[in-house]
Amino acid sequence: MHELILHHYPTSPFAEKARLLLGFKQLSWRSVTIPPIMPKPDLTALTGGYRKTPVLQVGADIYCDTALIARRLEAEKATPTLFPEGQEFNVACFAQWADSVVFLHAVSLVFQPESIAARFGKLPPEFLKAFVADRSTLFNGGLATRLPAEQAKHQWPTLIARLQQQLEREQGDFLFGEPSLADIALAHPLWFLRGTPVTAPLVDEYPAVAAWLARVLGFGHGSLSEMSGEEALAIAREATPVALPSETLVDPNGFKPGQQVAISAIDYGVDAVEGELLFSGSEELILRREDPRAGTVHVHFPRLGFRIQAR
């Protein structure tokens, strides 16, 4: 059985989501630190061009997007569950909303000039310039749009007041009563906001929210040890991808296994990954691709939030 390898960097909010998922599951994993900006040569050798953070590697199987990473970790260890019985739909849909709507508000608020100055003030000016240039192209070609800071500020009191009210009335200590993916998906944008004194009050001034967030962050990150990108590539080269899922689904757009296709996110970071379509299921798409450094890998994507096109 192969180790879980997370390709991430410390300040990424979605990486924090993945780390909390691993902590919630009380799993051991290997940590590969990747650059926060392009180029990311070791990562893209595994993914074929997908650049978002984080990516989960299990041998020669590469999992893109935290929505799918959560399902892979659920398969790795069933308890405690991220999808409480009877709440699966609610939890998954709430998590999708938090990962998009709440996250985009948090990004807009964090990247206000005064917040950037506090967050990046001690870093070299060259890095800040490169970081801003990298992020300025991230939304090109995608359906997601940058939320103006003025609008994010305007709407934030509504979002956070609703959360405060829900937590005050909830019978348990978490959203939907017991802990789930919903908590972790909502926690990581708030963790991001708490990264600077400029935006931290947007969370900390709401006592029930701050107490709930402390409980979620208390899941920790599991047990991790460092690994280099080269070591991770060597593991992929030497491994054999796992057997494909047994689910049978007639693809609604007629795509069939064996086709050459390109898969890409539709919101932002829309770099396409090309390869042979191996599997098309209700939750997951799998491509086979060859790379000189990574060997034969299967790259896994969620169906929701991604597009597939013939090549």
pLDDT in tens, 240-268: 999 999 998 999 999 999 999 999 999 99
Are residue 73 and residue 99 in the same domain, yes or no?
A: no
pLDDT in tens, 32-76: 999 999 999 999 999 999 999 999 999 999 999 999 999 999 999
pLDDT in tens, 278-295: 999 999 999 999 999 999
In the predicted model, is pLDDT for residue 189 greater than 90? Answer: yes
Length of the chain: 311
Are residue 232 and residue 190 in the same domain, yes or no?
A: no
Q: Please check whether residue 143 is in contact with residue 267, taking contact to mean a CB–CB distance below 8 angstroms.
A: yes
> What residues have CB less than 8 Å from 186, skipping those under 6 apart?
94, 95, 98, 102, 163, 175
Are residue 213 and residue 166 in the same domain, yes or no?
A: yes
In the predicted model, is pLDDT for residue 120 greater than 90? Answer: no
Structure tokens at 136: 């300025």
Q: Please check whether residue 284 is in contact with residue 61, taking contact to mean a CB–CB distance below 8 angstroms.
A: no
Q: Report, in angstroms and rounded to the nearest whole number, the Rg of the chain calculated over CA atoms.
A: 19
Are residue 195 and residue 115 in the same domain, yes or no?
A: yes
The whole-number average pLDDT for the span 190-207 is 97
Count the neighbouring beta carbons within 10 Å of the beta carbon of residue 195. Answer: 17
Are residue 70 and residue 48 in the same domain, yes or no?
A: yes
In the predicted model, is pLDDT for residue 239 greater than 80? Answer: yes
The residue out of 196, 217, 238 marking a domain boundary is: 217
The residue out of 217, 251, 284 marking a domain boundary is: 217
| Dist CA 120 CA 132 (whole Å) | 11
The candidate with the shortest Cα–Cα distance to 157, out of 205, 216, 99, is 205
Confidence of residue 171 (pLDDT cuts 50, 70, 90): confident
Cα–chain center distance at 22: 12
The candidate with the shortest Cα–Cα distance to 30, out of 301, 183, 213, 236, is 236
The candidate with the shortest Cα–Cα distance to 4, out of 218, 225, 298, is 225
Structural domain boundaries, residue 179: 88-217
Are residue 124 and residue 198 in the same domain, yes or no?
A: yes
**Average per-residue pLDDT for the chain:** 96
CATH number of the domain at 60, please. Answer: 3.40.30.110
How large is the greatest C-alpha to C-alpha distance in the chain, in angstroms? 55
The residue out of 201, 217, 233 marking a domain boundary is: 217
Are residue 234 and residue 277 in the same domain, yes or no?
A: yes
Are residue 203 and residue 124 in the same domain, yes or no?
A: yes
User: Which of the two residues, 1 and 206, has the higher pLDDT score?
Assistant: 206
The whole-number average pLDDT for the span 138-159 is 94
Are residue 232 and residue 302 in the same domain, yes or no?
A: yes
Structure tokens at 94: 């709430």
- Model pTM score: 0.96
Are residue 143 and residue 72 in the same domain, yes or no?
A: no
CATH number of the domain at 141, please. Answer: 1.20.1050.10
**Count of domains observed in the chain:** 2
| Dist CA 245 CA 303 (whole Å) | 14
Are residue 192 and residue 122 in the same domain, yes or no?
A: yes
Burial of 97 (0-12, 13-18, 19+ CB in 10 A): middle
Are residue 227 and residue 303 in the same domain, yes or no?
A: yes
Q: How far apart are the first and last CA of the chain?
A: 34
> What residues have CB less than 8 Å from 95, skipping those under 6 apart?
67, 70, 181, 182, 184, 185, 186
| Alpha-carbon dihedral 195, 157, 87, 223, rounded to 10 degrees | 10
Does residue 84 have a cis bond before it (omega within 30 degrees)? no
Q: Where are the alpha helices (DSSP H) in 194-250?
A: 201-204, 207-217, 229-238
| Dist CA 113 CA 77 (whole Å) | 42
